[in-house]
Structure 1
Amino acid sequence: MSLIAAAVCLGFAGCTSQPANPNPRAAVPLSTVAVDLPRYMGRWYVIANIPYFAERGFVGSRAEWKLRSDGRIDDAFVGRKGGFDGPEKRYQFLDRVKEGSGGGAWRVRLFWPIYVSQLTLYVDPDYRYTLIGYPDKSLGWIFSREPDMDDATYRALLARFHAMGYDTSQFRRIPQKPDQIGQPGFASPGSHD
């Protein structure tokens, strides 16, 4: 079984390989922020991301988090593959908050026995926006409670990622409505960006 798990992990690594991060703070470790878990739950729209391979080509994507009575989190990824005409797909995960993280670090079970780390790097005081990262900075997400985000807010959130050592040129905005497809900076549903 461990050989299969190792092969799957190597496959994930190959699918997420990126060019070297040019940010001068690339080697600085990420720090999580504490979150009020009940307040943090609910629907979050994916405004932009450096996606992992399974997210590529999705539009109208969002995360839905629900705190369970046992302290674990039901985590759903919902979106449409290839365009807004396609059916909505839903993928279910199970997360566990890492002890001592103040709710800011989660262990996400993609499928047994594969787990990944999810780090909350920023949440605004009103819980309207949040930044989620991955320890090696190869993945990142800008989430919003609303499907639209103005350019000034988007640039300010990207600047936060840059200050943390991310290569922000890797982020692509995710179309949340059909007229955003093909616009500058937005991911194309048919691309592998």
Structure 2
Amino acid sequence: MRTLPFVLLALMVATTTAACRSGNVKPSIPTAAPVDVDRFMGDWYVIAHIPSFPERDAYAAVESYAKLPDGRIQTTFRFRKGALDGPEKTMHPVGTVTPGTGGAVWGMQFIWPIQAEYVIAYVDADYQQTIVGRSKRDYVWLMARTPRISDADYEARIRQIQALGYDVSKIRRVPHAP
């Protein structure tokens, strides 16, 4: 029985090695580096997303960023649950900019000690629209400084998201009040 832990460890190593060689591992998502983190601070309306579990039925979603004195980023994500007049929900993760990434890669911590990857894949020159994603291509957020963007901009951003390797059929447009 003392060999069981070694057998399990060897099996895990073999499985991990095979997975890395399988060709199913997606490349890292490209970044919008350099990102001026100070300009990125403030409110961003979620225009569309491939949502995480808590935000699957989000309305009027807004992500707000504020730099803390230690350089971390206090984040407040607020949305209405189920309808524009639904109950307001909030989350308060803290972001940490990953050194050497030009401000474009953050670790977003919802629960200590786990940090989720948060990659700013696109931000326009005026810091009015952004695409945030993850290398796993499981979640993505199209956000803007206003609750609506033009149809032309929306379609252009969706094409960018598709070019990043996302299945855009999973994208949900987030309703905002008129």
TM-score normalised by L of structure 1: 0.76
For 1:28 and 1:72, locate their aligned partners in 2 and report how far apart those are by CA, in whole Å: 27
Query: What SS does the aligned partner of 1:156 have?
Result: helix
* Deviation (angstroms), 1:150: 1.6
> In the alignment, what sits opposite 1:156?
156
> In the alignment, what sits opposite 1:181?
none
> In the alignment, what sits opposite 1:126?
126
Query: What SS does the aligned partner of 2:175 have?
Result: coil
Percent identity (aligned): 39
Ranges of 4+ aligned residues in structure 1 off by more than 4 Å: none
> In the alignment, what sits opposite 1:69?
69
**1:68-108, CA deviations, whole angstroms, 9 ceiling, x for partnerless residues?**
12110001110110112223222111110001011100001
> In the alignment, what sits opposite 1:138?
138
Larger radius of gyration: 2
Task: Check the 8 A contact 1:147/1:176 in 2, yes or no.
Answer: yes
Task: Check the 8 A contact 1:28/1:164 in 2, yes or no.
Answer: no
> In the alignment, what sits opposite 2:16?
none
Aligned length: 153
> In the alignment, what sits opposite 1:80?
80
1:1-193 mapped onto 2 (5 Å cutoff)? 27-33=26-32, 34-177=34-177
For 1:146 and 1:84, locate their aligned partners in 2 and report how far apart those are by CA, in whole Å: 16
For 2:66 and 2:26, locate their aligned partners in 1 and report how far apart those are by CA, in whole Å: 33
Task: Check the 8 A contact 2:84/2:175 in 1, yes or no.
Answer: no
- Name the amino acid aligned to 1:161: I
For 2:65 and 2:94, locate their aligned partners in 1 and report how far apart those are by CA, in whole Å: 10
Query: What SS does the aligned partner of 1:143 have?
Result: strand
* Deviation (angstroms), 1:161: 1.1
Give 5+ residue unaligned stretches, structure 2. Answer: 1-24
Give 5+ residue unaligned stretches, structure 1. Answer: 1-25, 179-193
TM-score normalised by L of structure 2: 0.82
